[in-house]
């Protein structure tokens, strides 16, 4: 049977030889230095010297004395015998004839090398385990592995595997229960009732409110954005994120609780005791506050990119592609006329206007020239025109796509901005008033020109405004 959280194989390998040591391990852990040889040299008889060396190096390698000192690989005995000059290794069997001898040797080894029994450091080790279980919330097996290293580093002989695993399991369970009780204790009665109702399935619904909260939006659409904002507003209204958690509660433990709460079913959570159930729901709800807002922003960014900007750019590109052949043809006509003008005027400065026109008419009829000028003027904006005017006009036509949720966007999500982007944020917050449905058309009198104006009252460019869009802390535009 596994020992608590260890498998049979892991428990069997604890504090024992697992196969023969490698050559490097033999040279590092089983080499007898001058201090070792001096201590071993006090023994009488090859069997006692070899047995003492065997217990000494075994404690050094596996961290404890073995119940049967001779239960070691033959390679270890041969390596030690070669260093001690023992030619007949079979004498080692005589070492266990007197059991008290091996205990006396163990006491002498502990005294000479400063090795301590586990009972001497149990309280200190328990404190170490509690710290590992409380702050980072490490699992039992992870604490066990590092605990063995801690004991070895502090020259503590390893206790029995059952003793160690049960202590670690008990201390970690106590730390976890302390976390549940701490979080449960800070919850007011109102929040306790709200969290408990999250596990109930409302009448007419197919799932609990918790499962509904955990499910975020998927397809980008204006209606889904409204649902995402409703979900975020519902979660934020509980006010759990504003609660001040005890400073002693580690952030990682809250993350672990929330991770469990995001995957466990409502049925599973209902089976837990009140403290664990509400502590898990508290951590999950706090996590969902941030996640619900992030889901809204991600969906908004996707919606703006695909439904608004993307479609407006696609429509603009299609219109440009449609106009391109006509624009190219008329531009070529104008280019020929201008080239003729430059060529004729280059011959003489005394040419009359009638002569210039005669030269141009000979290449391009004046009627075609007028048509080309009219066509190019209609398709190409003047040099001082807004380069994004066409796309902005197309965006304005698609405002119904986003008008439904723009009314609640800035009321549900608390946006932030640096000094340069405050105007952008302030303009965003006027959207609910402008889109409240009571006015069919927004006029200049409804817009604060200070908010939307740039240098000298001009609009800041579309790329600059879009650089400051839809982030909790908007990037400032260059106005």
Q: For 397-410, what is each residue's pLDDT tens digit?
A: 556 666 667 777 77
Q: Which residue has the higher pLDDT, 475 or 307?
A: 307
Share of the chain above pLDDT 70, in %: 79
pLDDT tier for residue 370 given thresholds of 50, 70 and 90: confident
Structural domain spans, the chain: 8-115, 119-185, 394-467
The CA distance from 96 to 69, in Å, is 8
Neighbours of 317 (CB within 10 A): 11
pLDDT tier for residue 321 given thresholds of 50, 70 and 90: low
Mean pLDDT over 75-101 rounds to 93
pLDDT for 463? 35
Read off the DSSP letter of residue 208. -
The CA distance from 221 to 224, in Å, is 5
Task: Report yes or no: 249 and 179 within 8 Å, Cβ to Cβ.
Answer: yes
pLDDT tier for residue 390 given thresholds of 50, 70 and 90: low
Q: Give the residue carrying structure tokens 């206790």.
A: 159
Task: Report yes or no: 292 and 232 within 8 Å, Cβ to Cβ.
Answer: yes
The CA distance from 478 to 365, in Å, is 48
Task: Determine phi and psi for 6, rounding to 5 degrees.
Answer: -100, 145
Angle at alpha carbon of residue 441, lines to 435 and 445, rounded to 5°: 90
Q: Is the pLDDT of residue 160 over 90?
A: yes
Give the relative orientation of helices 366-379 and 353-363 as an angle to the nearest 10 degrees.
Answer: 80
Task: Determine phi and psi for 202, rounding to 5 degrees.
Answer: -60, 155
Report CA Rg, the chain: 41
pLDDT for 419? 85
Task: Report yes or no: 254 and 283 within 8 Å, Cβ to Cβ.
Answer: yes
């Amino acid at each position: 049977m596994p020992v608590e959280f260890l498998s049979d194989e892991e428990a069997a390998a604890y504090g024992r030889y697992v196969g023969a040591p490698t050559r490097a391990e033999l040279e590092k852990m089983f080499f007898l230095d001058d201090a070792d040889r001096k201590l071993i040299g006090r023994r009488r008889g090859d069997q006692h010297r070899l047995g003492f060396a065997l217990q000494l190096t075994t404690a050094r390698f596996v961290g404890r004395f073995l119940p049967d000192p001779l239960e070691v690989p033959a390679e270890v005995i041969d390596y030690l015998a070669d260093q001690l000059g023992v030619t007949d290794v079979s004498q080692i069997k005589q070492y266990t004839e007197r059991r008290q001898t091996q205990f006396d040797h163990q006491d002498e080894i502990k005294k000479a090398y400063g090795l301590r029994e586990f009972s001497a450091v149990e309280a200190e080790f328990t404190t170490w385990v509690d710290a590992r279980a409380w702050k980072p919330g490490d699992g039992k097996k992870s604490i066990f592995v590092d605990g063995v290293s801690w004991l070895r580093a502090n020259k503590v002989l390893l206790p029995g595997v059952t003793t160690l695993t049960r202590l670690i399991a008990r201390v970690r369970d106590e730390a976890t229960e302390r976390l549940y009780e701490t979080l449960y204790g800070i919850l007011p009665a109102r929040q306790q009732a709200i969290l408990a109702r999250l596990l109930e399935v409302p009448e007419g619904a197919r799932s609990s409110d918790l499962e509904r909260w955990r499910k975020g939006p998927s397809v980008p659409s204006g209606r889904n954005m409204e649902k995402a904002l409703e979900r975020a507003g519902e979660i934020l209204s509980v006010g759990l994120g504003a609660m001040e958690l005890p400073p002693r509660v580690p952030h990682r433990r809250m993350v672990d609780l929330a991770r469990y709460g995001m995957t466990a079913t409502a049925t599973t959570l209902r089976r837990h005791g009140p403290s664990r159930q509400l502590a898990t729901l508290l951590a999950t709800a706090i996590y969902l506050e941030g996640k619900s807002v992030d889901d809204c922003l991600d969906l908004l960014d996707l919606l703006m990119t695909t439904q608004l900007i993307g479609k407006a750019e696609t429509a603009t590109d299609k219109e440009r592609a449609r106009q391109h052949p006509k624009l190219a043809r008329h531009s070529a006509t104008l280019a020929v006329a201008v080239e003729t003008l430059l060529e004729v005027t280059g011959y003489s400065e005394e040419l009359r206007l009638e002569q210039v026109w005669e030269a141009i008419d000979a290449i391009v009829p004046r009627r075609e020239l007028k048509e080309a000028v009219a066509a190019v003027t209609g398709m190409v904006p003047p040099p001082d025109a807004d380069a994004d005017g066409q796309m902005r006009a197309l965006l304005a036509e698609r405002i119904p796509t986003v008008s439904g949720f723009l009314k609640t966007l800035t009321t549900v999500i608390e946006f932030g901005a640096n000094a340069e982007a405050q105007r952008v944020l302030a303009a965003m917050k006027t959207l609910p008033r402008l889109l409240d449905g009571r006015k069919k058309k927004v006029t200049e009198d409804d817009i604060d020109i200070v908010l939307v104006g740039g240098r000298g009252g001009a609009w800041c460019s579309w790329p600059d405004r879009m650089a400051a869009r839809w982030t909790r802390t908007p990037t400032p535009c260059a106005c």
